[in-house]
Each structure stands twice: as C-alpha cells, then as structure tokens.
Copies of this chain bind each other. A is one copy, B any other.
Amino acid sequence: MASQILPLELVDRCIGSPIWVVMKASSREFTGTLVGFDDFVNMVLKDVTEYEMTPQGRKATKLKETLLNGNHIALLIPGGEGPEGASS
C-alpha cells in the first residue's frame, strides 16, 4: 500500500489554518480558521464568512465563531479561499 493521509489527519493538520467547508444542503458554505474538531468531525471555526446561495445571488455574512454539525458537512477544502477565490 502506498503511504497515505488519513482523513482525520488532514483535519488535524488544518488546526489554526483557514479552511472552506461545504454543507450537505449545498446552498451553504463557510470559510474560516479551524479552531477544533471531534471524532464526529463537528468543527469549530473562527473569523468565519458564511456564503449562502439565494435566488438573488450569493450572500456573504461575517461571523466570529461557528460550530458546524459534522453530519451536515459534505466536504472540507484546506486553504479556505472559498467559493469566490476558487479557480474555474
């Protein structure tokens, strides 16, 4: 087996760094600094920007600290450039 990076290892390496999180209901996304997580991959972010897709376009909201329910997280992207910085 090739050497690999376990999923929780990747999450752990992101502590203190910016990440981008996409929720299951894909109309909500978050960027912020990962402050902590647990075995259910519940996550605490700080300096958060929430992106919500509305019929009027993407809406950004600033939040200080946010706890995300791990069950509702679909994907996590280290680096945290978010839906606005992603290259198409």
Q: Which residues of A contact B (CB under 8 A)?
A: 1-2, 4-12, 15-16, 23-28, 35-38, 41-44, 59-79, 86-88
- For the complex, give the distance between the alpha carbons of A61 and B8 in Å: 24
B residues within 8 A CB of A25?
Answer: 24, 26, 74
A-B contact pairs, 22 of them (CB 8 A): A1-B12, A1-B15, A2-B15, A4-B44, A6-B36, A7-B38, A7-B43, A7-B67, A11-B67, A23-B74, A24-B25, A25-B26, A41-B69, A60-B88, A61-B88, A63-B86, A64-B79, A65-B77, A66-B75, A67-B75, A67-B77, A72-B74
| Min CB–CB distance A83 → chain B (angstroms) | 9
